[in-house]
Amino acid sequence: MHREKLEVAAKELLKNDPTGHDIYHSMRVYNLAKEIAKKEGWQFDDDILFAIAMLHDAGHERSIRTGDKYRYKHMEYSAEIAKRVLAEVGFPEQKIPVVLQGILQHDQTKPWGLANRIPTDIKEILLIQDADNLEAIGILGMVRVLVFNIQAGTPLYKPELSLTKDLEKSRLESAIHNLIWHLSLGDNLNTKAAKKMVQERKIQARNFLDQFLKEWNGRTD
């Protein structure tokens, strides 16, 4: 019962998201996390996995509204919103702390998540981290990253900046640099299954980038 209510609440919270952090992203994160668990042979608590997936990005809207351009605070905002929503839908009380921890830690493999970097061996959290990172890589991932950058007002591309060096600095300078930087998230995956799944996504992303640069430079070969 709380599951249906939670899904309805998540749909409402995410309905106006303009940057690919919508209910469809939450659903894909949930499904990807389950697929990874199956491949790893991991047992997990489905209530916890579902709740983290549904609400992990609910704070984006507040980030946009409060001028947090790169959404560095969205995990904290999501956790605050989740605390309220989980109580409202009657989510099992004893499972709420781990859901909140998972929401706070879902971005911890990214630089802005370092403040929250607490080693965890909680399977549901490791699964969500991998699923969320996979969502930023590949064709769909690239479209999401591009839309995010457009929304943040980042220029499309700055050819004067290296595509291989100092990406930590240049990732906020152009959407294409940001795209390339996001591929590095594939090096920080927790599970063998996700490491395997990211390979095809990286190939697709590289092909896209090669073609983009070819066309940018006016090459026809």
Residues of this chain that interact with Fe ion (CB under 5 A) are 57, 132
User: Least distance in Å: CB of 164 to Fe ion?
Assistant: 26
How far, in Å, CA of 90 to CA of 58, rounded? 18
How far, in Å, CA of 59 to CA of 107, rounded? 13
User: Least distance in Å: CB of 74 to Fe ion?
Assistant: 6
Closest to Fe ion by CB, 62 vs 161, is 62
Interacting residues of 106 by C-beta distance below 8 A, sequence separation 6+: 52, 56, 75, 113, 125, 128, 129, 132
User: Least distance in Å: CB of 213 to Fe ion?
Assistant: 28
Q: Are 148 and 20 in contact (CB under 8 A)?
A: yes
Q: How many residues does the chain have?
A: 221
User: Least distance in Å: CB of 135 to Fe ion?
Assistant: 6
Q: Quick one: DSSP state of residue 43?
A: -
Closest to Fe ion by CB, 124 vs 132, is 132
How far, in Å, CA of 16 to CA of 22, rounded? 8
How far, in Å, CA of 103 to CA of 89, rounded? 17
> Other C-beta atoms within 10 Å of 24: how many?
12
Closest to Fe ion by CB, 40 vs 57, is 57
Closest by Cα among 118, 126, 121 to 191: 126
Closest to Fe ion by CB, 12 vs 215, is 12
Closest to Fe ion by CB, 18 vs 159, is 18
**Lookup: tokens for 60:** 């984006």
Closest to Fe ion by CB, 79 vs 86, is 79
What is the dihedral sign for C-alpha 9, 13, 15, 17? negative
User: Least distance in Å: CB of 155 to Fe ion?
Assistant: 23
User: Least distance in Å: CB of 215 to Fe ion?
Assistant: 30
